[in-house]
């Protein structure tokens, strides 16, 4: 996946000279997850900028540069570090288009890895989708495969809106064959992963893989789950999601986000508002626990949703 993201960056930077990348160790070091490997040599220090460890100011600078016509891609080495830039992301990135009465556009992409990894400890295992969710003016997507990573990165760069692209620490080494021809993924579209009839499972990012693992078990047990990777965390693709619910009448949300105020909580609300009449069972939502991610392996595993829990949930919904 890191290569797919990298390809997207290279293609867009070649196409549009206003696209630049800024973040810690993105340049000479090649990026802590190799997403920007080789870019500094290709595009130079003015377009691939190694910043000091100063998230608040370099995110602010990216937004200022966007006000003046550039298209910065701001990398948080870990999404968690971007909390230091929260004011800039919320008040300036999200709001300037509105408070200026439409004069300024902020076409930035804010991206970085988040999620629970392998015993990285609480501060490096954050799931911040919910933290950014309420910011008016921001668009949010989460990639999960090399294919959609490249497509979403390209779309995010081209979008006039500020987009937060959530990557996942454990997915960077995922491999997949992707097309040679240029393609873009729609920022607001969900992805049908596995069509089915019995239950709609909505998921995103790494949990997609836990869901698919559970799906194998479920199929063996005679269930036919429909798996949708929602990809677009804000806005939700209620068109695709709605069509699925109208078919299956049962919904399970599986996410890595925190339970409280998470993406799942919002999604559940949206489904109830829009598709209540189509539901034959209460919507279930499996989220990660509202705890700082513990270091110990067993505890860390218990923090996030595991395939066994997904299987049990589907069995319960389909009773």
User: Is 124 known to be catalytic?
Assistant: yes
- Of 69 and 121, the one with the shorter C-beta distance to another protein is 69
Closest contact distance (angstroms) between CB of 250 and another protein is 22
| Interface segment toward another protein; rule CB under 8 A; list 156-164, 218-226, 277-285, 296-304 | 156-164
Closest contact distance (angstroms) between CB of 203 and another protein is 18
Extract the runs of DSSP E, i.e. beta strands, from 154-231.
163-168, 191-194, 199-203, 225-229
**Residues of this chain, 115-144, that bind another protein according to CB under 8 A:** 133, 136-139
For residue 24, count CB atoms less than 10 angstroms from its CB and return exposed for 0-12, middle for 13-18, buried for 19 or more.
buried
Tokens at residue 282, please? 């209460």
Q: Which of 97, 124, 198, 249 is catalytic?
A: 124
Rounded Cα distance, 179 and 242, in Å: 29
Rounded Cα distance, 49 and 36, in Å: 11
Report strand pairing: 191-194 vs 225-229.
antiparallel
**Residues of this chain, 13-72, that bind another protein according to CB under 8 A:** 20, 46-47, 49, 51-52, 54, 56-70
Q: What are phi and psi of 132, to 5 degrees?
A: -90, -10
Residues 15, 38, 100, 316: which binds another protein (CB under 8 A)? 100
User: Is 123 known to be catalytic?
Assistant: no
Q: What are phi and psi of 118, to 5 degrees?
A: -115, 90
Give the x-and-dash track for 238-267 against another protein (CB under 8 A). Answer: x---------------------------x-
Q: Does 103 bind another protein (CB under 8 A)?
A: yes
Other beta carbons within 10 angstroms of residue 107's beta carbon come to 21
Q: In this structure, are residues 49 and 22 in contact, taking their beta carbons and an 8 Å threshold? A: yes
Residues near another protein (CB under 8 A): 20, 46-47, 49, 51-52, 54, 56-70, 87-88, 91-92, 96-104, 133, 136-139, 155, 158-161, 184, 186-189, 234-236, 238, 266, 270
Q: Which residues are catalytic?
A: 55, 124
């Amino acid at each position: 996946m890191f290569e797919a993201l990298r390809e997207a960056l290279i293609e867009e930077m070649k196409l549009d000279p206003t696209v630049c990348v800024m973040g810690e160790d993105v340049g000479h070091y090649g990026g802590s997850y190799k997403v920007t490997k080789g870019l500094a040599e290709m595009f130079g220090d003015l377009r691939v900028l190694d910043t000091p460890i100063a998230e608040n100011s370099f995110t602010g600078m990216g937004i200022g540069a966007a006000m003046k016509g550039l298209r910065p891609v701001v990398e948080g080495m870990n999404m968690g570090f971007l909390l230091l830039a929260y004011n800039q992301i919320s008040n300036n990135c999200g709001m300037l288009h509105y408070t200026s009465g439409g004069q300024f556009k902020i076409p930035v992409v804010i991206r970085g890895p988040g999620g629970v990894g392998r015993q990285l400890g609480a501060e490096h295992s954050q799931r911040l989708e919910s933290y950014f969710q309420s910011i008016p003016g921001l668009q949010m997507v989460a990639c999960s495969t090399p294919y959609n990573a490249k497509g979403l990165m390209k779309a995010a760069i081209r979008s006039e809106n500020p987009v937060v692209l959530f990557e996942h620490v454990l997915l960077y080494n995922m491999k997949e064959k992707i097309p040679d021809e240029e393609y873009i993924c729609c920022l607001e579209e969900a992805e049908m992963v596995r069509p089915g009839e019995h239950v709609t499972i909505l998921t995103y990012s790494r949990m997609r893989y836990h869901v698919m693992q559970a799906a194998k078990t479920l199929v063996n047990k005679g269930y036919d789950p429909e798996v949708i990777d929602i990809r677009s965390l804000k806005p939700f693709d209620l068109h695709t999601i709605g069509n699925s619910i109208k078919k299956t009448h049962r919904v399970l949300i599986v996410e890595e986000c925190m339970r409280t105020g998470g993406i799942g909580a919002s999604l559940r609300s949206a489904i109830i508002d829009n598709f209540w009449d189509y539901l034959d069972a209460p919507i279930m939502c499996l989220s990660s626990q509202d705890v700082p991610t513990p270091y110990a392996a067993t505890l860390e595993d218990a923090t996030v949703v595991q395939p066994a829990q997904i299987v049990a949930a589907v069995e319960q919904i389909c009773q």
